[in-house]
Amino acid sequence: MAVLGVGAIQKRVIAIEVPDPAGSSMDALALRPMVYLTLTFDHRMLDGAVADTFLGTIVQTLESWA
């Protein structure tokens, strides 16, 4: 059994890498919609590696959402 907690989506300031005209990259600040995800599970029924894979798949899906 596992419980996935999803917080409110809020705009937050984060650091991103942007291409530099010289060909390298530089850091910039940007506003992005962010959400906190919390996964709680019973370690007697679910292995931590499986829970980590599950949460990683959710994060990857949300980050690549078109």
> Whole-model pTM?
0.66
Active-site positions read: 43, 47
Segment 5-60, tens digit of pLDDT: 999 999 999 999 999 888 899 999 999 999 999 999 888 888 889 889 999 999 99
Whole-angstrom CA distances from 22 to 18, 19, 25, 60 are 12, 8, 8, 31
The CA-CA-CA angle for residues 62, 55, 2, to 5°, reads: 125
Range of the structural domain that residue 51 is part of: 2-63
Instruction: Please count the structural domains in the chain.
Output: 1
